[in-house]
Amino acid sequence: MPGYLLHFRILTGEIKMWLCPLCGEGLNSNSAPWRCSNGHSFDMSRRGYVNLLPVHKKASKAPGDNKSMISARRCFHANCGFAPLMDRIAQLAVSLAPEGDVMLYDAGCGEGAYLAFVREAMVSTRRSVKAAGSDISKVAIDFAAKQVTAAQFVVASSFDLPVASDTADIILQIFAPGDDTELCRILRNDGTVIHVAPGENHLLSLKQVAYDIPRPHALPPDRRNGLKLLSRERLQFTLELVSVEHAMALINMTPFTWRFSEAQKQSLAQELNEAEGDFVISVWKKADK
Ligand SMILES: C[S@@+](CC[C@H](N)C(=O)[O-])C[C@H]1O[C@@H](n2cnc3c(N)ncnc32)[C@H](O)[C@@H]1O
Ligand SMILES: [Zn+2]
């Protein structure tokens, strides 16, 4: 089947985008609960997302980021903490997406701020965008589904995505783990993965407080299974922390949250007016077979 036809059929619901995590069959997601032809069913939560992470595939009771980290990230993004990064990702996504219908997927979407921003940017170019995201953290997906009602969300691992092959035009993978082969599988042949990782000096001054010997972040790999690197750029800017609450949000949304006591965090946040933002943005395509 030609690519455009396949794509059209996914968007019109004929081919099922979501897969049953128990048997791999397509899920009928047109009505709740979502069901596969083998009788497995998945309830829709009050917020409209579906949990596609079976208990036996969970490594812990509540995997992924916890509520405190997710609400800190929400507060940080609400104060436009990473605005230049969001702008650049959106610019890239818009320039790389096909005209017309676009399937945008955020793997490890957290509370959904990037998916919402990139979707808006794409919609403003008159494309018809189907946006979806997944995260292993149920609380993250709960936040995302509440905030970003124009997108569909599921709880799932990026190492075992319940998503049909050849589905996504643009995949966002932003500070989130994932399996190359899985991302490659759900990517359309001419699709793109936009990957963001911390650059070597990201939040260096916080690191200097937290560690005796602060080590720079390692560069992300320039080889990935099944993918080829199209471009890589470094984006650096100063994070302006507009209030103590904003500074606290930055501390609490990162692993620094585990390094300090509440009192230490409070006094650090009082002092912290800015921090180093340093990011590596890599664009990947499917490698030729
Ligand atoms: C640093 S946060 C980034 C979230 C979001 N992309 C952002 O930048 O705001 C990492 C996210 O990856 C999620 N995560 C961790 N392991 C995962 C996995 N195996 N599959 C899917 N998501 C995972 C966490 O729950 C968390 O929401
Ligand atoms: Zn099934």
Task: Answer whether 219's CB lies under 8 Å from 280's CB.
Answer: yes
Going by alpha carbons, the residue nearest to atom 4 of ligand 1 is 110
> pLDDT value at position 15?
64
Residue 2, preceding bond cis, omega within 30 degrees? Answer: no
> pLDDT value at position 288?
86
Q: Has residue 50 been placed in a domain?
A: no
At 205, list the tokens: 């001054």
Which residues in the chain land under pLDDT 70? Answer: 1-15
Q: Has residue 31 been placed in a domain?
A: no
Going by alpha carbons, the residue nearest to atom 25 of ligand 1 is 64
- Name the one residue in this structure whose structure tokens are 């149920």: 138
Q: Best substitution site from 135, 141, 202, 257 to test ligand 1's pocket, by max atoms within 8 Å of Cβ?
A: 135
Task: Count how many domains the chain has.
Answer: 1
Q: What is the torsion angle, in degrees rounded to the nearest 10, for the CA atoms of residue 176, residue 181, residue 182 and residue 187?
A: 100
Task: Round to whole Å and give the CA distance between 184 and 126.
Answer: 27
Q: Ligand 2 being an ion, which residues bring their Cβ within 5 A of it?
A: 20, 22-23, 25, 36, 38, 40
Q: Has residue 167 been placed in a domain?
A: yes
Distance 107 CA to ligand 1 centre (A): 8
> pLDDT value at position 4?
44
Q: Has residue 9 been placed in a domain?
A: no
C-alpha pair distances (Å), 228 with each of 62, 224, 257: 34, 7, 35
Q: Has residue 211 been placed in a domain?
A: yes
> pLDDT value at position 154?
98
Q: Best substitution site from 137, 147, 163, 279 to test ligand 1's pocket, by max atoms within 8 Å of Cβ?
A: 137
Q: Has residue 12 been placed in a domain?
A: no
**Which among 275, 121, 128 has a CA at the least distance from the CA of 209?**
275
Give the number of the ligand closest to the Cα of residue 143.
1
Going by alpha carbons, the residue nearest to atom 13 of ligand 1 is 108
Range of the domain at 193: 58-286
191-217, pLDDT tens digit by residue? 999 999 999 999 999 999 888 888 989
> pLDDT value at position 58?
78
Here the CATH number for the domain that contains residue 275 is 3.40.50.150
pTM: 0.94
> pLDDT value at position 133?
98
User: Residues 31-64, buried b or exposed e (16+ Cβ, 10 A)?
Assistant: eeebbbeeebebeebeeebbbbbeeeeeeeeebb
> pLDDT value at position 80?
86
List pocket residues of ligand 1, CB cut-off 6 Å: 64-65, 73, 108-110, 113-114, 135-137, 140, 157-159, 174-177
Q: Has residue 140 been placed in a domain?
A: yes
User: Long-range contacts of range 171-174, CB-CB < 8 Å, 24 or more positions apart?
Assistant: 171/105, 171/106, 171/107, 172/89, 172/93, 172/104, 172/105, 172/106, 172/107, 172/109, 172/114, 172/115, 172/118, 172/196, 173/107, 173/108, 174/89, 174/106, 174/108, 174/110, 174/114
Q: Has residue 112 been placed in a domain?
A: yes
- Name the one residue in this structure whose structure tokens are 């190359």: 180
**Which among 205, 206, 202 has a CA at the least distance from the CA of 216?**
202
Give the number of the ligand closest to the Cα of residue 75.
1
